[in-house]
Structure 1
Amino acid sequence: MITPAFAQQFAHDWLNAWNSHDLEAILSHYADDSLFTSPYVVLLADEPSGVLHGKAALRNYWHKGLQRIPDLHFDLSDVLIGIDSLTLYYRGHNGMVAETFVFNASGLVQQAMACYALPTSD
């Protein structure tokens, strides 16, 4: 079960890794056989399913993302915890993001799903 202390530490470490643009620190949170889903996978990784399998695919995808957005910064709004998962709600470069992480028995991310706020129309 996810504890509040684990959730807060994960959120802190994960955000610091991203905000430092430290790809290896980011990847250190993920299992080698992790699964990641995001609508941006379709655009950046040219993967129509929106799904990436494994750390090598994540490395390539996030490397491209960090190059495309050199000033990328995330601001945490909230941390939500579940049984074997947690969700970070944060402001990204295009608005609000809810990213849910499911953890394996070793405390590494086995699966992550990113959802993005719809663009507002004026």
Structure 2
Amino acid sequence: MNHQNFAEEWIRAWNSHDLENILSHYAEDIEVTTPMIALATGGKENTLRGKEAVREYWRKALDKFPDLHFELIRSTAGVNSVALFYKSIMDKHAVEVMFFDGGGKINKMYAHYD
């Protein structure tokens, strides 16, 4: 799958608010690093490890932001990775860099916000 198709599919999954559809893009050993985790945990951590921890975090996020809607601005490809630039929640812009494992699932992701 090329990076633009992946980006459009990923955005559609998030905009559907279907947590299992969102999680289908991620490996069991996913590692997510984002400043939003610190906001949710009171500054205790910035990284979540494992699909179950990520599932619980995103379930709370989807509940907190029922009108969540992402808008893709641009996607770029790297070595076994993509970077997506999109309009996120709270009128923020985000860049997410996602790295893929051998099975084509995201196993590491870093998010950046303005």
- Same-fold call, TM > 0.5? yes
With the length of structure 2 as denominator, give the TM-score of the two structures: 0.94
Q: Which of 51, 57, 68 is the aligned partner of 1:55?
A: 51
Pairwise CA RMSD of aligned residues?
1.2
Between 7-16 and 29-38, report the one with greater CA deviation: 7-16
TM superposition shift of 1:49: 2.5
Query: What are the Cα deviations for residues 37-70 of structure 1, in whole angstroms up to 9, with x where unaligned?
Result: 0111112245623000000011000000000000
Equivalent in the alignment of 2:107 = 110
The secondary structure found in structure 2 opposite 1:106 is coil
Evaluate the alpha carbon distance shift between residue 107 and residue 47 of structure 1 in structure 2; reply closer, same or farther with a 3 A threshold: farther
Moved over 3 A (4+): none
- Bigger Cα Rg: 1
Query: What are the Cα deviations for residues 54-97 of structure 1, in whole angstroms up to 9, with x where unaligned?
Result: 00011000000000000000000000110111100000112110
How many angstroms apart in 2 are the aligned matches of 1:100 and 1:63? 21
Equivalent in the alignment of 1:41 = 37
Unaligned runs of 5+ in 2: none
Query: Which of the pair is proportionally richer in helix?
Result: 2
TM superposition shift of 1:9: 2.1
Partners of 1:52 and 1:58 within 8 A in 2: yes
How many angstroms apart in 2 are the aligned matches of 1:47 and 1:35? 18
Amino acid at match of 2:89: H
With the length of structure 1 as denominator, give the TM-score of the two structures: 0.88
Equivalent in the alignment of 2:97 = 100
Once the two structures are aligned, what percentage of the paired residues are identical?
A: 41
Unaligned runs of 5+ in 1: 118-122
Equivalent in the alignment of 1:68 = 64
How many angstroms apart in 2 are the aligned matches of 1:102 and 1:74? 20
